[in-house]
């Protein structure tokens, strides 16, 4: 493990910008959340724009009978509010009749529904009563005016916390939707450390919904869960601060923080983690050959930017120029910021034209950005890594560390391999 930097980024002043933001709204979270929560349906109450966004973001997946849809507001819904609630009841009843397998229904607020102040919380309560006990109806907002991209997951999980059953059991809660394969690896490692009372939020099915109480400790698997963090603390649970489990080092420190809390011996920790750590280091080393000494520039997107930059700098030998994040949650990002050597600009928020000016001036070897910017920057000769893939692909924990590094190495390898200039 690389030594701690003399000075981390914890005290680096943050460049805060306001202006045009080239980011997704929180509705996008539905696209991976609905895969994880197998008996949940996400009903967006919004406009045609919302439906179009989901369709564009979901790409091909939308053709596989997905468990999400949009109740599109029409002119008549805007005219009088009382009737919008009736309309919603009718659409929900139709939906649930067609999909009897659904046990949890999320009414997801959007910009239009928030601006007209459609009370979805009240609707959720009413619909829960109407469809109890088979279906529980919850609500959260994934609107662009309130949430950025992954914050949609945060809002969703936070909406579930108050309804979790109470327990006094000493247990560990893993928070954040991980791909099943990654979640299984995490559970296996914890179990090998002797920690078996582990539950996940979100659970794969509503029957497995975790309980919570004053003896619950929780570890975040994702950095964008600020609201959920706060909601869990309100229920008496205690957080285990740790860097995010990206790369060999991140995973080890994340596990170590939990192991300390549960009093796992150093010998046992070493015995359980030695082999996967060695595997992860070997796998990362292969991709790191391409990445070593190269510079990277992050546009804000998912809040994963700080822990990913930490991984690229410390484990792959990259140099970070600017790390943009849509929102910086000090308490959660702290451990990662402390590991990140001083140097890069940390920016929160965005004025996209100004940030593009900086990115063009910096001409980083690799620019991590959204799909709206990636091709235009490539056309200007910059190698890019589109960031949304980092949210959909399994990238956490030991076995994925090599894949994670490879995601960043591939655009550089490709750029080196193509021997054709673009046609004039």
Q: In the complex with another protein, which residue's Cβ is closer, 92 or 244? A: 92
Q: Residue 178 and residue 299: Cα distance in Å, rounded? A: 23
Q: Give me 424's structure tokens.
A: 């004039």
Q: Residue 281 and residue 377: Cα distance in Å, rounded? A: 32
String of DSSP letters for 85-153: HHHHHHHHHHHHHH-TT--EEEEEE-HHHHHTT--HHHHHHHHHHHHTTT-EEEEEE--TTT-BTTHHH
Q: In the complex with another protein, which residue's Cβ is closer, 112 or 223? A: 112
> According to the binding rule CB under 8 A, does residue 17 interact with another protein?
no
Q: In the complex with another protein, which residue's Cβ is closer, 139 or 209? A: 139
CB of 214 to another protein, least distance (A): 33
CB of 421 to another protein, least distance (A): 14
> According to the binding rule CB under 8 A, does residue 20 interact with another protein?
yes
Q: In 214-353, where do the E strands start and end?
A: 216-220, 238-239, 295-298, 319-325, 345-349
Q: Residue 144 and residue 267: Cα distance in Å, rounded? A: 48
> According to the binding rule CB under 8 A, does residue 123 interact with another protein?
no
Q: In the complex with another protein, which residue's Cβ is closer, 146 or 261? A: 146
> Total residues contacting another protein (rule CB under 8 A)?
62
Binding mask 279-318 for another protein (x = CB under 8 A): ----------------------------------------
Instruction: Output phi, psi for 32, to 5 deg.
Output: -95, -30
> Residue 279's CB: how many other CB atoms inside 10 A?
15
Q: Residue 335 and residue 342: Cα distance in Å, rounded? A: 14
CB of 286 to another protein, least distance (A): 29
3-state secondary structure of 305: helix
Sign of the four-CA dihedral 154, 29, 326, 145: negative
> For another protein, which stretch binds (CB under 8 A), given 18-26, 165-173, 212-220, 358-366?
18-26
Local structure of residue 205 (DSSP, 8 states): S
Q: Please identify which residue in 14, 15, 17, 66 interacts with another protein, judged by CB under 8 A.
A: 66
> According to the binding rule CB under 8 A, does residue 370 interact with another protein?
yes
CB of 156 to another protein, least distance (A): 16
> According to the binding rule CB under 8 A, does residue 84 interact with another protein?
yes
Q: In the complex with another protein, which residue's Cβ is closer, 77 or 336? A: 77
> According to the binding rule CB under 8 A, does residue 328 interact with another protein?
no
Residue 58: partners with Cβ closer than 8 Å, 6 or more residues away: 31, 66
Binding mask 93-122 for another protein (x = CB under 8 A): -xx---------------xx-xxx------
> According to the binding rule CB under 8 A, does residue 56 interact with another protein?
yes
In the complex, the residues that contact another protein under the rule CB under 8 A are 19-28, 45, 47-49, 51-53, 55-57, 59-60, 62-63, 66, 68-75, 77-78, 84, 87-88, 90-91, 94-95, 111-112, 114-116, 143-146, 148, 353, 370-376, 378-379
């Amino acid at each position: 493990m690389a030594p701690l930097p003399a000075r981390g980024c914890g005290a680096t002043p943050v460049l805060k910008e306001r202006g045009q933001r080239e980011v997704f709204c929180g509705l996008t979270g539905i696209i991976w959340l609905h895969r994880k929560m197998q008996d949940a349906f996400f009903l967006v109450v919004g406009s045609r724009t919302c439906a179009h966004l989901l369709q564009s973001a979901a790409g091909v997946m939308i053709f596989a009978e997905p468990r999400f849809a949009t109740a599109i507001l029409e002119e008549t819904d805007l005219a009088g509010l009382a009737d919008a609630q009736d309309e919603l009841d009718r659409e929900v009843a139709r939906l649930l009749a067609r999909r009897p397998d659904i046990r949890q229904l999320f009414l997801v607020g959007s910009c239009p529904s928030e601006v007209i102040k459609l009370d979805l919380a009240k609707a959720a309560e009413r619909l829960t009563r109407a469809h109890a006990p088979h279906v529980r109806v919850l609500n959260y907002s994934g609107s662009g005016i309130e949430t950025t991209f992954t914050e949609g997951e945060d809002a969703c999980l936070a909406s579930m916390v108050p309804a979790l059953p109470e327990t006094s059991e000493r247990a560990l809660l893993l928070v954040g939707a991980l791909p099943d394969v990654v979640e299984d690896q995490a559970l296996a490692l914890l179990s090998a450390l002797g920690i078996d009372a582990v539950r996940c939020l979100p659970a794969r099915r509503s029957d497995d919904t975790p309980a919570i109480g004053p003896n619950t400790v929780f570890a975040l698997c994702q950095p964008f869960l600020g609201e959920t963090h706060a909601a869990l603390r309100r229920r008496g649970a205690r957080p285990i601060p740790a860097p995010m489990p990206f790369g060999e080092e991140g995973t080890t420190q994340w596990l170590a923080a939990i192991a300390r809390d549960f009093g796992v011996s150093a010998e046992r920790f070493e015995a359980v983690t030695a082999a996967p750590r060695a595997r992860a280091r070997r796998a990362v080393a292969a991709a790191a050959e391409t990445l070593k000494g190269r510079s990277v520039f992050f546009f804000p997107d998912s809040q994963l930017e700080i822990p990913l930059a930490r991984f690229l700098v410390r484990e792959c030998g990259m140099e970070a120029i600017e790390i943009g994040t849509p929102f910086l949650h000090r308490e959660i990002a702290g451990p990662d910021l402390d590991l990140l050597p001083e140097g890069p600009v940390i920016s929160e928020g965005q004025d996209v034209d100004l940030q593009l000016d900086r990115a063009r001036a910096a001409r980083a070897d690799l620019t991590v950005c959204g799909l709206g910017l990636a091709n235009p920057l490539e056309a200007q000769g910059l190698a890019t890594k589109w960031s949304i893939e980092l949210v959909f692909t399994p990238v956490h924990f030991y076995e994925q560390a090599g894949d994670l590094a490879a995601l960043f190495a591939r655009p550089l390898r490709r750029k080196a391999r193509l021997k054709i200039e673009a046609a004039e």
